[in-house]
Structures are given as structure tokens and as C-alpha cells.
Chain A
Amino acid sequence: DAKTTQPPSMDCAEGRAANLPCNHSTISGNEYVYWYRQIHSQGPQYIIHGLKNNETNEMASLIITEDRKSSTLILPHATLRDTAVYYCIVRVAGGNAGNMLTFGGGTRLMVKP
């Protein structure tokens, strides 16, 4: 799986949009970008994933650059409960190869009142 690079920490004001960047310059053509988050003392929670098109769900939006070398996770209206470590991971979806997730350091997002 390709390596990702994320800033170790970010702050965001409550109610504002949180934009979390991720670099994955060595991503392969068949690798998806996945985002998970981990709230303290819990297991990782799936947020969103995408291949090359921008994606949106009830939790967040994922913006992937045209060259697919970076992406941004957007939490449109951050709340205090969004304080967590956010992991950006690239992997091949489906099949047996590369189904495990290799976690980097992630970004510790602190949402402040």
C-alpha cells in the first residue's frame, strides 16, 4: 500500500469547516483513498473513501486532486465530538491483496469551542 503523509495535528473552531489534507504521491491507479477516524479509546470509524471523483456522504466530503497525489477530507461544520485522530490510507479495494490497512500517524484534530 502507498504511504501517506498527514500533518500531525490541527485545530478547528466549532461550527467551522475542518479541512484535513493528505499527500499520497505514490498512489497506484487501482488504489482508493480511505479516511477513518479514531476517537479516544475507541476503534477506528470509517468515514469515506474514493478513487478519483470527489465524494460526499452524511459525515464528510472527500476532494481528490486530478493527479490523485493528494486529497482533503472536509468536515463541513465541525463539532466538539469530531475531535479525534483522522487517518488517511490508500489501499486496493476488494480482493485479497492489500486488504489490510496500514496506518500512519494520522492527524489529531482538536475542535475548540
Chain B
Amino acid sequence: GAVVSQHPSRVICKSGTSVKIECRSLDFQATTMFWYRQFPKQSLMLMATSNEGSKATYEQGVEKDKFLINHASLTLSTLTVTSAHPEDSSFYICSGLTITGELFFGEGSRLTVL
């Protein structure tokens, strides 16, 4: 299957700082990428849909000013958690949509805010 890579896989930051997570489709072009968040022992929750060259669409309850999404190219989408707080600690996962409509997921990025 297609490969989606996330970086960093783990990040620890101080409260109040911003953290950027990158999501790259390595062997396909993803016009659409999705960002999910997963808390311990819970299922994945969709945060936003990112379309190349346009603004992201956020799910209800997700603050767009706190979770900045940029999809500047067909192979890269970034999620920036601004002014992170301990409650933002979570497992963040992206997925890329292939031209044939299949979805492939990144390895996830675990954010810990101290």
C-alpha cells in the first residue's frame, strides 16, 4: 500500500509553546489529507479535512485557531498545535487520500505537553 510518513513520532513540549507535526505522502499525491486525534483507550476522532491549496475544514468542537493546518503541496500537510496545554496531549494521526479513493494512515505523532 501507499506510504504516509509523520514527523516527529514523539514530541514533548512545555505548556504555552507551539508544536508542528508534518504529514507526508511518500509515493502518491494526496489532494486531501485528514487529521485525527486519539486519546488513550479511545477511538480516532476526526479533527479536520485538509485540501491542497485551500483552507481546512474543521469538525465541530475543534478550534481552527488552535490547530492550524496547512496543505501547501500535494505531498505535505502540517498540523500546528498553538499554545499547547496539557489537555492537548494526545496521539495525532494523519491520513492521505489516493487518487483512487483509498486512505492510508501515518504512523502517528504522540504529543506530550508538560
Contacts and interface: CB of A to CB of B under 8 A. Distances in A.
A50 interface: no
B1 A46 contact: yes
A94 B49 contact: no
A100 B97 CA distance: 9
Interface of B: 1, 4, 6, 32, 34, 36, 43-46, 49, 91, 93, 95, 97, 100-108, 110
Interface of A: 36, 38, 41-46, 87, 93-96, 99-106
Nearest to B109: A43
Nearest to B99: A94
Contact of B49 (A100, A104, A106): A100
Instruction: Please classify the interface of chain A as helix (H, G, I), strand (E, B), loop, or mixed, using the class held by over half of its residues.
Output: loop
Main secondary structure of the interface of B (DSSP, over half): strand
Given A38-B44, A99-B32, A100-B49, 13 more contacts: A41-B91, A41-B108, A42-B108, A43-B6, A43-B107, A44-B93, A44-B95, A46-B105, A95-B101, A99-B97, A99-B103, A100-B34, A106-B43
B50 to A, nearest CB: 11
- Across the A-B interface, the 9 shortest Cβ-Cβ residue pairs: A94-B101, A43-B105, A103-B44, A103-B43, A43-B108, A44-B105, A93-B101, A43-B93, A43-B107
A96 B101 CA distance: 8
A103 B32 CA distance: 18
A100 B101 contact: no
A64 to B, nearest CB: 18
